[in-house]
Amino acid sequence: MKKSWFVIPILVLAMMLTGCDKNKENLKDAPDFTLRNGYGETFTLSDQKGKMVILNFWATWCPPCQREIPDFIDLYDEYKEDGLMIVGVSVDQTGWDAVDKYIQNMGIQYPVMMFTPDVIRNYDNFQSIPTTFIIDKKGRIVNKVTGYRPRTFWEEEIKKIL
């Protein structure tokens, strides 16, 4: 027992030298999908390579979702020409009519699609909304965010990638 006191400092030093953050070489590719909206339009994630994608799973009845959507609208307007794509994936069970009404009332210009169980399963089978995945220009998930975050958080994430 007396000789084991030196193990902890060695482990701490090893973590400092190798880093504790995600290794960019080990980032997971974002699972590809094609989803539809109520107008029959499709969105395919792999078509977005070369762009940063904020993939936001949300619902019309979710207060934190409602709170962050105006920021996503503003950020999309501000950064879309620089290569930002924001995609809303509604998990509303009531169908497209409720989602479309919300889109129209909010003035959402970025693509909004309806979820499928397969997409939810492929994205860690998350249990809370909003859940948002940040995908880099190479199509890799660089961050998963559960819950509301203010505009400043999203803008910092955008500036890291763009």
Mean pLDDT calculated for residue range 12-40: 68
Q: What confidence tens digit (pLDDT) does each residue in 123-158 have?
A: 999 999 999 999 999 999 999 999 999 999 999 999
Mean pLDDT calculated for residue range 2-21: 42
pLDDT at 9: 46
Q: Token digits for 2?
A: 């007396």
Q: What is the CATH number of domain 24-161?
A: 3.40.30.10
Q: Token digits for 117?
A: 């169980």
Q: Which residue has the higher pLDDT, 58 or 21?
A: 58
Residue 13: is its pLDDT beyond 60? no
- Domain ranges within the chain, ordered by starting residue: 24-161
Residues facing residue 90 across a β-bridge: 58, 114
Residue 39: is its pLDDT beyond 80? yes
Q: Using alpha carbons only, how large is the chain's radius of gyration in Å?
A: 19
Distance of alpha carbon 74 from alpha carbon 76, whole angstroms: 5
pLDDT at 18: 36
Contacts of 101 (CB under 8 A, 6+ apart): 60
